A and B are shown apart, each in its own frame.
Chain A
Amino acid sequence: MTILEVNNLKKVYTTRFGGSPVQALANVSFSVEEGEYAAIMGESGSGKTTLLNILASLDKPTSGEVLLKGKGLSTIKEKEISAFRRENLGFVFQDFNLLDTFSLQDNIFLPLVLSGKSYEEMSRRLEPIARKLGIGDILAKYPYEVSGGQKQRCAVARALITKPQLILADEPTGSLDSQSAEGLLRLFKEINLEGQTLLMVTHSVKAASHAKRVLFIKDGEVFHQLYKANMSDEAMYQKISDTLTTMATGGGHHE
């Protein structure tokens, strides 16, 4: 079943003081099936964050539409959009986006508190997640007291705790050392195996090589895609590298 469908998305940023408009996305279309683990690759500035923000309904496209389980995001009322986002989507960001005023546990609880869940229910939900992510004994700490890897695992816990339809991750390994990055990617793979649908944008070949499918975006359009199928991580890594080289040398792409 298709969870996410993106049709002809276009985004043009117009700066407030009459600067020249920037086209971040030209014409992006793709879809994500239930249980999939997809990665979107592109260079810095290619519009990945813009795309993700639109998928997350944090930003509006200039034109085109986004359907989540067949429901158009643009049809949701302004008032309900936050609740919709909270209940259907989970986020993992490059810079963690944990609030420094809350302990890690409270950071993870935040979306549930907003949905009006009781403390007992929240604790019950957190318990297995914390065990799986290995963050049980740092929950009382504050974001500035733990490492980047630990912060990111807490951010993942915050995304998982609402049992979302889809988890969106923006450069989740971007601020991590290679070991923590490796751990996080393994974690993504695990939760995907348990049935969680994941969409990750990244410019790291390493990160992308863990996904089941990789989409390449360039000049604001989906340029190419690769399926991992039965390939090993290493083989996938090689294949992605080759594609990137081809893209960089400008070959293969036609309008």
Chain B
Amino acid sequence: MSRFFYPKLAATNLKKNAQTYLPYILTCIGTVMMYYIMVFLSENEGLGKMTGGSEVQTILNLGCYVIAIFSAIFLFYTHSFLIKRRKKEFGLFNILGMEKKHIARVLAIETLYVAVISLGAGLLGGILLSKLIFMVLLKILNFEVPLGFTVSGPALTAVLFLFAGIFLLTLLNTLRQIHLAKPVELLMGGQTGEKEPKTKWLLVVMGTLSLGWGYYISLTTESPLAALNQFFFAVLLVMVGTYCLFTAGSIAVLKLLRRNKGYYYQIRHFTAVAGMMYRMKQNAVGLANICIMATAVLVMVSTTVSLYIGMEDVLRTRYPQHIMISTPVPAQQSVEGLQTSVKEVLAKHGLEGKDRLDYRYAALVGNQEGDRVITDMSNISDDSSSVREFYLIPLEDYNRLAKRRVSLGDDEILIYSSSSKYEEDTLTVLNRTLTVKERLDSFFENNLNRVSISGSYYVVVKDMEVVKAMAEAQDEENGDDPSGYRYYLGFDLEADEADILAVYQDIRTAVGNDYPGSRIESPVAVKESFFAIYGGLFFLGIFLGALFIMATVLIIYYKQVSEGYDDKARFEIMQKVGMSREEVRGSIRSQVLIVFFLPLVAAGIHIAFAFPIITKLLAVLNLTNVGLFAWCTAGTILVFALFYALVYGLTAKVYYRIVSWETF
């Protein structure tokens, strides 16, 4: 046999199977490109040196892992699909006298071709595109764009190792399948296992419960902290539910329909029900995959987009005043020194504080149980949802800021709640029982719980003596040194960002020395790192979204192709038995439409139910603008649906060509 026989055969095979191999190779190229670019960015030294750059690179690093794992699973999966379609061909080779080791050799050469083409084109594309993507990223991050063009050595190595590994794995898996199969089985190839699916009621029940539970968690979780804890569990439940219901639930529904004779034996329903049953059996897992992937894309893109768009909002929510000082005041010290320092700095810059807000307070943390609060840290329960923060504020400061003239007795309090209302008449904390004199409906604008994700109470007590006493009592209970009370001072400035930043830095040095432990914040100071983090997430969201869409496209394409081959024979039979062209066409088209849009609709429902819990998660990240998130979600869904429909339309063409629509 000629030395070139195997390489030639391998090339012919690829050409012959171009309809399925071309998309596969394109996907390989796409993933190679994306992985190269992601590693390139996360390793880029220039980016690392920029302010906030290292945060971005941490996020991008995460992206590298996601892409690597995803590429491995995804390419492995699509390749096994290709091989399934080709089994007949291998069986034929086998029967024509090629031994399995010869087939293995051809396959190895084929894989080599695919690997070389994918890596070659992918790396070339990656290198060329990396500069563009880099500029886009910097634009998103509000960073300066440096000149120059680099090829990243580490990225090249990472790509080569990862994809060599993936290709080797797919080859080994194929060889294993060929090795295990008998020639006859190979010849049967795609046609084995067309048994009627059984109704698995257990799975249906499990899926329904699981999905219901997941939805229930999303709908009922109140506190952001609980949302953070429960989110991944809920996601897991919904995933399980999706798989169960797509596989078992769909079959169960169809079987119930079939059992209803009056319904089933009607022209419109007869072929549709049976056809859908067959399709769902073939595709349920793939469709569930698409559904979950679509949901993931939608959640990822909509949240990162709204965080990015809402960044100014977020910044303003998290840092409501230009300068924010919160400082511990030890027992022997007063706050006058601090006030003077701030005044001096402002005078130096020729500026004046506006909307000044200042008050004294002490914070308590504990588990609320009815009208009691357990502050003892060693007794704090695991149930995070009952953790509350209590801010004690003296009446004097409250009256001043709220412009009221309330008076309070020794153990009387006013209480305001940031989440659910405080319903009890008394509050027992640190061995002291306080009587609620008034439940406040509103409170003066304060900046205490900006970073808090559990529910907070603002408790106005008679005077500083009470505040101090309770703060001391808490420290004593926890065995800490007495830390005294805290003082907050915040104001806005009518100046541009550079000036605000200068004031901020001067205050830091002035106050920081005299009052160790002070927290001095300004939105201007953190703006860059905010941009870095949210911009990084936004970039990653879009990037991974693109990757997932590519995967979805490929799965849809392969589904169409394989359906096409199966449907071709069925169409012919239906016509011979007396169905008109239009009837066949209509029935098939509606089935195909249902199959392809089912995952999208299911993803839409998932998103709708996930909306409440995601808004709470976003609140943890300081995005409280629900309207913005709703718009971003709607927009993302719309764009995705358009994309999906476009892909469907394009692949449908291939499908119609296969079933040779026009010939009958």
Residues in A lying within 8 Å of B, measured CB to CB: 56, 58, 79, 81-83, 85-86, 91, 93, 97-103, 106, 109-111, 113-114, 116, 118-119, 122, 142, 144, 158
Contacts and interface: CB of A to CB of B under 8 A. Distances in A.
Interface stretch (B549-557, B567-575, B612-620): B567-575
B357 interface: no
A83 B275 CA distance: 22
Contacts of A109: 265
B578 interface: yes
B404 interface: no
Most chain B beta-carbon contacts within 10 A, residue among A91, A109, A113: A113
Given A111-B578, A119-B262, 20 more contacts: A58-B576, A82-B575, A82-B578, A82-B583, A83-B578, A83-B580, A91-B577, A99-B274, A99-B573, A100-B570, A101-B275, A101-B570, A103-B196, A110-B270, A110-B574, A110-B577, A113-B267, A114-B577, A114-B578, A114-B583
Nearest to B275: A101
B278 A100 contact: yes
A119 B265 contact: yes
B264 to A, nearest CB: 8
B578 A116 contact: no
A114 B573 contact: no
A83 B583 CA distance: 11
Tell me the interface secondary structure of chain B in the complex: helix
Nearest to A118: B265
Contacts of A111: 577-578
B195 interface: yes
B374 to A, nearest CB: 64
B578 to A, nearest CB: 3
B265 A158 contact: no
Given A113-B267, A119-B265, A85 B578 contact: yes
A65 B15 CA distance: 44
Most chain A beta-carbon contacts within 10 A, residue among B275, B570, B573, B583: B573
Contacts of A99: 274, 570, 573-574
Interface in B119-136: none
Given A119-B265, A122-B265, A144-B194, A79 B580 contact: yes
Nearest to A82: B580
Contact of B579 (A100, A114, A158): A114
B266 interface: yes
A86 B578 contact: yes
Interface of B: 194-196, 261-262, 265-267, 270, 274-275, 277-278, 570, 572-581, 583
Contacts of A58: 575-576
Contacts of B573: 97-99
Given A101-B277, A101-B570, A144-B195, A113 B270 contact: yes
Contacts of B277: 101
A97 B576 contact: yes
B193 to A, nearest CB: 9
A119 B263 CA distance: 10
Most chain B beta-carbon contacts within 10 A, residue among A81, A110, A116, A118: A110
A58 B580 CA distance: 11
Contacts of A106: 270, 274
Contacts of B194: 100, 142, 144
B578 A101 contact: no
B266 A113 contact: yes
B267 A116 contact: yes
Contacts of B195: 142, 144
Nearest to B279: A101
A180 B275 CA distance: 30
Contacts of B266: 113, 116
A58 B574 CA distance: 12
A251 to B, nearest CB: 38
9 contacts: A56-B576, A82-B580, A93-B576, A99-B570, A99-B573, A101-B277, A103-B196, A111-B578, A113-B267
A91 B579 contact: no
A82 B261 CA distance: 24
A100 B580 CA distance: 19
Contacts of B267: 113-114, 116
Most chain A beta-carbon contacts within 10 A, residue among B262, B266, B575, B579: B579
A153 B661 CA distance: 31
Nearest to B573: A97
B577 A119 contact: no
Contacts of A142: 194-196
Contacts of B262: 119
B496 to A, nearest CB: 71
A82 B576 CA distance: 9
Nearest to B664: A58
B186 to A, nearest CB: 18
A58 B577 CA distance: 10
B575 to A, nearest CB: 7
Contacts of A100: 194, 278, 570
A102 B194 CA distance: 11
A226 B573 CA distance: 33
A67 B570 CA distance: 29
B189 to A, nearest CB: 15
Contacts of B570: 99-101
Nearest to A144: B194
A142 B277 CA distance: 13
B576 A91 contact: yes
Contact of B274 (A102, A116, A144): A102
B17 to A, nearest CB: 21
Nearest to A109: B265
Contacts of B275: 101
A162 to B, nearest CB: 8
A119 B278 CA distance: 22
Nearest to B274: A101
B274 A158 contact: no
Contacts of A102: 274
Nearest to B574: A99
Contacts of A85: 578
Nearest to A86: B578
A215 to B, nearest CB: 23
Q: Return the 10 tightest CB-CB contacts between A and B, nearest first.
A: A86-B578, A82-B580, A101-B278, A101-B274, A119-B261, A97-B573, A119-B265, A113-B270, A111-B578, A85-B578
A66 B167 CA distance: 59
Nearest to A121: B265
A93 B573 CA distance: 10
A118 B264 CA distance: 10
Most chain A beta-carbon contacts within 10 A, residue among B265, B267, B572, B574: B265
A199 to B, nearest CB: 15
B277 to A, nearest CB: 7
A141 B578 CA distance: 23
A122 B275 CA distance: 21
Nearest to B281: A101
Nearest to A97: B573
B259 to A, nearest CB: 12
A91 B583 CA distance: 19
Contacts of A86: 577-578
Nearest to A123: B261
A116 B268 CA distance: 10
Most chain A beta-carbon contacts within 10 A, residue among B278, B580, B581: B580
B579 A82 contact: yes
A97 B576 CA distance: 9
A100 B566 CA distance: 10
